[in-house]
Amino acid sequence: MSVQKVKISASGPALSRIAAGTMTWGEWGVDYGSEKMQEMIRYCIDLDITTFDHADIYGNYSTEATFGQALNRLGSGVRAQMELVTKCGIRLKTKRRPENNLKSYDLSRDYIIHSAERSLENLHTDYLDLFLLHRPSPLMDPAEVAEAFTQLRQSGKVRAFGVSNFSPSQFSLLNAYVELATNQVECHPLRPQCFHDGTFDQLLAAGTRPMVWSPLGGSHYFKEESTNILRLRNTVKNLAEKYGDVGEDVILLAWLLRHPVGAIPVVGTTKKQRLGNTRLALETELATEDWFAILEAATGHEVA
Nearest-angstrom CA–CA distance, 91 and 232: 36
Cβ-Cβ contacts under 8 Å for 187 (sequence gap 6 or more)? 193, 194, 195, 210, 212, 215, 256, 263
Task: Tell me the pairing of strands 19-21 and 14-15.
Answer: unpaired
Nearest-angstrom CA–CA distance, 179 and 142: 11
Q: Which residues are catalytic?
A: 58
Nearest-angstrom CA–CA distance, 256 and 252: 7
Cα Rg, the chain, nearest whole Å: 19
Residue type (1 letter), 51: T
Helix/strand number for the chain, H first, E second: 13, 12
Q: C-alpha distances in angstroms, 153 versus 53, 128, 245?
A: 19, 10, 47
